[in-house]
Homo-oligomer: A and B are copies of this chain.
Amino acid sequence: MTSTDPERRIPTSERRSERAAAATRLAALDLLRERGYQALTVDAIAERAGVSKATIYRWWPNKQAVLMDAFLEASAGEIDWPDTGDLRRDMRDQVGRLVEAFTDTPLEQTMRTLIAEGQHDPALAQAYRERWLAPRRAIARGALERGVARGELPPGTNCDRLLDALYGPVYYRLLLGHDEADEAFLDWLVDHVLGEAGKR
């Protein structure tokens, strides 16, 4: 079980452990960024964070869970996005921001690692879906639904499928690496999937 568990132990002194926990999350991200995946060991995290291994294992089941928390913290903040009334433009902006967040940033390596580890760690995969994907998909789904309401998309559109058609190719290029998820591709993709009809 990852720290996802809402019933995780509450330390007597929230302040003490929170300092250690924050240092741990930061150390995990920094290590991964600076020295790569193979340097991401619990010992190294502990040493860099100035925290003992026992403390890490007290709050997380393994280093993947640490990284998950660090990833969520680092990508926290406002995740909603404005509705300009132009669905295609909004979706294009949003997909562009997603790619930006994952290109040449510490988060790219972190995301890759989490998805990779998630292939063998169901709890981690679930945490990625529930804690990262789901909220963002909910917002994008809302935008699509408003697009349907506004007539930019046909009535009866299955928005979840549409989300997969939009985000799938992006993840595919990011994870498989056979081609870049560059501006031109995103332009084309959003147009193609949302339909050229609405294009101005």
Please give the count of copies of this chain that the complex contains. Answer: 4
B175 pairs with A161, CB closer than 8 A:
no
Q: From known contacts A165-B189, A168-B170, infer whether A175 and B129 are also in contact, taking CB-CB under 8 Å.
A: no
- Residue A104 is within 8 A (CB to CB) of chain B in the complex: no
Looking at chain A's contact residues, is the secondary structure mostly helix, strand, loop, or mixed?
helix
- Residue A171 is within 8 A (CB to CB) of chain B in the complex: yes
A156-200 contacts to B (CB < 8 Å)? 158, 160-161, 164-165, 167-173, 175-179, 185, 188-189, 192-193
B161 pairs with A188, CB closer than 8 A:
yes
Q: From known contacts A161-B185, A164-B179, A185-B161, infer whether A116 and B120 are also in contact, taking CB-CB under 8 Å.
A: yes
B116 pairs with A177, CB closer than 8 A:
no
B119 pairs with A115, CB closer than 8 A:
yes
Question: In the complex, what residue of chain B is closest to A160 when comparing beta carbons?
Answer: B179
Give the distance in Å from the alpha carbon of A125 to the alpha carbon of B170 in the complex: 17
Give the distance in Å from the alpha carbon of A133 to the alpha carbon of B172 in the complex: 12
Give the distance in Å from the alpha carbon of A193 to the alpha carbon of B176 in the complex: 20
B115 pairs with A176, CB closer than 8 A:
yes
Chain B proximity of A42: nearest CB distance (Å):
15
19 contacts across the A-B interface (CB closer than 8 A): A36-B120, A37-B119, A113-B119, A116-B116, A125-B176, A129-B177, A129-B178, A161-B192, A164-B173, A164-B185, A164-B189, A165-B193, A167-B172, A168-B170, A168-B171, A168-B173, A171-B172, A171-B175, A193-B193
Residues of A within 8 A of B (CB): 36-38, 112-113, 115-120, 125, 128-129, 133-134, 137, 158, 160-161, 164-165, 167-173, 175-179, 185, 188-189, 192-193
